[in-house]
């Protein structure tokens, strides 16, 4: 289950892989080395911020000037 802290969503590795539509090994090999890790709780489980993952989904803010082209 994703964590939501201060309006930001954090996902486990399994959730992050599912969010991106890839396998966990692909996530660990190609995505995980390029994004920051966050730890939560006494067990210090590792989570990944959903907004960091969005860059790998191709989601980005639309530049109004870009739409005119």
pLDDT, one tens digit per residue, over 18-36 is 999 999 999 999 999 999 9
For residue 58, give every residue at least 6 positions away whose Cβ sits within 8 Å of its Cβ, in sequence order, or none.
none
* Domain annotation covers residue 20: yes
pLDDT of residue 11 exceeding 60:
yes
* Domain annotation covers residue 69: no
The tally of domains found in the chain comes to: 1
Q: Which domain range does residue 30 map to?
A: 3-62
Q: Say if residues 28 and 13 touch (Cβ distance below 8 Å).
A: yes
Q: What is the pLDDT, as a whole number, of residue 65?
A: 72
What CATH number corresponds to the domain at position 37? Answer: 1.10.1660
* Domain annotation covers residue 14: yes
Where does the pLDDT of residue 59 fall: very low under 50, low under 70, confident under 90, or very high at 90 and above? low
* Domain annotation covers residue 50: yes
* Domain annotation covers residue 54: yes
pTM of the entire structure?
0.76
């Amino acid at each position: 289950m994703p964590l939501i802290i201060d309006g930001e969503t954090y996902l486990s590795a399994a959730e992050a892989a599912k969010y991106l539509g890839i396998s966990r090994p692909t996530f660990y090999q190609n995505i995980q080395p390029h994004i920051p890790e966050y730890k939560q709780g006494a067990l210090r489980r590792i989570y990944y911020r959903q907004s960091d993952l969005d860059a790998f989904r191709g989601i980005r803010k639309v530049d109004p000037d870009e739409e005119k082209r």
